[in-house]
A and B are shown apart, each in its own frame.
Chain A
């Protein structure tokens, strides 16, 4: 029997330590003081919400869980109200555990090396400038809706070999999976199905006419035994590349611009010292890490002295780990020339983000091209900044005034 899932109530949180909820509006608006409170209480906190879920609050506890694939499975990687049945080949390798994980990951790595990203860089610079051309004369812009949003979606469309003009379609699927899908299983399933159908069409077209892109690359890839991948594996990995590559970097670029809009001194320094940009990008990744992952506890264990019971989920907050003052001095300050920075924005351990080199390149290019053409900008006091809810955090509305006449 398949029940139609009823929406679960999320009463406002009054006791963060024992009843945390990462979909609460207070968390969405400003999670940093909440993480501080949780960290002060315990390295591991628990909530009965989401059918039972832990959260490690320190860098050390996050690292321990990320590196422990025996007790913590990746078969479920998003904390939701529901626990839909686990599909085989959901989105390999991010949903895979050892020993299946490694070969699936190795398939995806070669197209995403730093050298491969360098070849993509000129196209990215052109995309950024096309986007800026579209609004620079207006003197104001929603930078989340008209700039940061379209950079990663066009990059991954370009790599996959699907039309950049389908961007809004992809963004809608991702919204259904990562935001609405936390509370509504129907939306989640609908988006997954539509995406699979979309990619099936592109796979079919390439059977007669192979192309030089990631879809053809995966269609031609062989597993350990030299056999072509099952279609479900190819589709799962394609869904992963599309989902993982878009609102993550959209968020990172948006948060970085939000910081620079409010911090003229950092803006001025990056314009005067362009060589500092790669270091600044790392610091912005640390301070405003967009991605929170999840694990499912499959065996009882202990983390940082706290018992952890099987059957619960784990909210694996890399963003909270990156604000741990034990690991990062002045953790709550953005220090754009921070020398030591072992941040975990792209995860730790075997599930390190496949697209980290792509994301870094996109952030660097997006900020460089923006600052070249728009050295002066500020938040528009007439507008409101809004943030996405749940698994990926970044500005979804980012109203700016452009130029000196602010």
Chain B
């Protein structure tokens, strides 16, 4: 059974570096200030798991969680 992933951005930690949006544009959105939040409820569509981990490991503020469900 394949694991399902969800991404979550902690809004108190995000400072708008926007690395996640550059690396995984399908999984994150930016607000008018350039701060990030997860797209929809954060569910990672099949095939995009690698991008989720990449976004997490390039966030300078350690603001991104990848949750395995």
Contact B32 A113 (CB under 8 A): yes
Partner of A114, one of B15, B30, B61, B62: B30
Contact B15 A350 (CB under 8 A): yes
CA distance A282 to B32 in the complex (A): 24
If A340-B58, A343-B60, A357-B34 touch, whether A114 touches B17 (CB-CB below 8 Å) is no
CA distance A343 to B60 in the complex (A): 6
CA distance A341 to B32 in the complex (A): 25
A373 within 8 Å of B (CB atoms): no
Partner of B34, one of A112, A339, A346: A112
B59 within 8 Å of A (CB atoms): yes
Chain B residues lying within 8 Å of A106, measured Cβ to Cβ, are 33
* Chain B 23-60 near chain A by CB (<8 Å), digits 1 or 0: 00000001011100000000000000000001001111
Partner of B57, one of A340, A349, A350: A340
Contact B17 A346 (CB under 8 A): yes
Partner of A352, one of B16, B21, B30: B16
Partner of A342, one of B21, B30, B60: B60
If A114-B22, A352-B17 touch, whether A342 touches B59 (CB-CB below 8 Å) is yes
**Which chain B residue has the least Cβ–Cβ distance from A349?**
B15
Residues A243-298 near B (CB distance < 8 A)? 278, 282
* Chain B 2-22 near chain A by CB (<8 Å), digits 1 or 0: 000000000000011111011
Residues A70-117 near B (CB distance < 8 A)? 106, 109-110, 112-115
Contact B60 A348 (CB under 8 A): yes
Contact A344 B21 (CB under 8 A): no
Residues A319-369 near B (CB distance < 8 A)? 339-344, 346, 348-350, 352, 356-357
CA distance A344 to B33 in the complex (A): 20
CA distance A278 to B16 in the complex (A): 17
* B60 CB to nearest A CB, Å: 5
**Which chain A residue has the least Cβ–Cβ distance from B61?**
A348
If A349-B15, A350-B15, A356-B17 touch, whether A342 touches B62 (CB-CB below 8 Å) is yes
Chain A residues lying within 8 Å of B62, measured Cβ to Cβ, are 342
Chain A residues lying within 8 Å of B32, measured Cβ to Cβ, are 109-110, 113
Residues of A in contact with B (beta carbons under 8 Å apart):
106, 109-110, 112-115, 278, 282, 339-344, 346, 348-350, 352, 356-357
Residues of B in contact with A (beta carbons under 8 Å apart):
15-19, 21-22, 30, 32-34, 54, 57-62
